[in-house]
Amino acid sequence: MTVTRTAARSGALIAASSGLLATALAPSAHAIVGDGSNRLASVDMTALTQEARKELAAAPAVQVANDAKLDIESTVVKVTPAPEPEPERVVATTTYPDAETTAATEDVEPATPDYASDGSIGAQAISIAMQYVGIAYAYGGDSPATGFDCSGLIKYVYAQLGVDLPHSSSSMVGAGYQVESPIPGDIVWTQGHVSLYAGGGMVVEAANYGSPVRYISQWQDYAVYIRPY
């Protein structure tokens, strides 16, 4: 291959046949200076000025032997990918009726509302009762070990707070005093059944066989509300 470029020595820059500019040939490239008789054969000189043509014709030509080698040093660049971002924590927020706190957890299971935060006996009763949601129903049961019936659950819960109640739904209507507007911890009494009012229209109750202790919307109509403390 032949290039036309002003050069003062064998270390001049040359253009490779691919059209890219290569580095200077080392002395071992066997550069041969010829007469350059054919160096302009493939050059279109119509666009050059007369002065440029003269300078181009006078420029020495460098001929490179066919076995010349061009050593190009290259450095391998290693790219370390950025670490993948850690997954974001998914926080499920659950708000309970009349609860004074909002439970934030890393799963979607609702947490027990903190009714005891206001310090009242009734609120503490609901906080205790919520711990037994899921305990099996048992007729005559009055402890977590045996299971609960409706009045047994309420009797057990208030016993933890020092309030003694009868184990009988019919007798609970006379325990404490009646109120018109219930607050958490009041007994919701109807003939044959009692539950604990939890606020926001919700109750905690042991309803019947096949239904464990549950936190559910109040379904009792024409209920009487009893405050047992």
Alpha carbon dihedral 42, 44, 48, 50, in 10-degree steps, equals 60
Same domain, 119 and 181: yes
Determine which of 20-24, 129-133, 212-216 has the lowest per-residue pLDDT on average.
20-24
Percent of the chain past pLDDT 90, that is, above it, reads 45
Most confident of the ranges 11-15, 26-30, 109-113, 142-146? 142-146
List pLDDT tens digits, range 83-115. 666 555 444 433 333 333 333 333 434 444 444
> Considering the domain boundaries, does residue 66 fall inside one?
yes
pLDDT of residue 66: 72
Verify that 69 and 119 share a domain, yes or no.
Answer: no
Q: Is pLDDT of 26 > 80? A: no
- Are 132 and 68 members of one domain? no
Residue 41 in this model has a pLDDT that exceeds 70: no
Query: Within a 10 A sphere around the Cβ of 14, how many other Cβ atoms?
Result: 22
Query: How confident is the model at residue 136, as a pLDDT?
Result: 96
Residue 69: which pLDDT band, with cuts at 50, 70 and 90? confident
pLDDT of residue 176: 92
3-state secondary structure of 130: helix
Q: Look up the domain containing 24 and give its range.
A: 1-74
In which residue are the tokens 């405050």 written?
A: 227
Radius of gyration of the CA atoms of the chain, in A: 48
Domain identity same for 126 and 55: no
Residue 6: CB atoms within 10 A of its CB come to: 12
Task: Tell me, yes or no, whether 109 and 216 share the same domain.
Answer: yes
Average pLDDT of the residues in 26-49: 54
Would 70 be classed as within a structural domain?
yes
Comparing 7-16, 41-50, 61-70, 163-172, the range with the smallest average pLDDT is 7-16
- What does pLDDT average to over the chain? 73
Place of tokens 């890393």: 106
pLDDT at 205 over 80: yes
Q: What is the DSSP letter of 22?
A: P
- C-alpha distance from residue 49 to each of 36, 40, 55, 58 (Å): 21, 15, 10, 14
Q: How far is residue 139's CA from residue 206's CA, in Å, rounded to a whole number?
A: 10
Domain harbouring 163, CATH code: 3.90.1720.10
pLDDT at 43: 58
Q: Is residue 193 part of a domain?
A: yes
Q: Concatenated DSSP letters for 26-91?
A: PGGG-EEE---TTTTTT---TTS-HHHHHHHHHS--EEE-TT--------PPP-PPPPPPPPPPP-
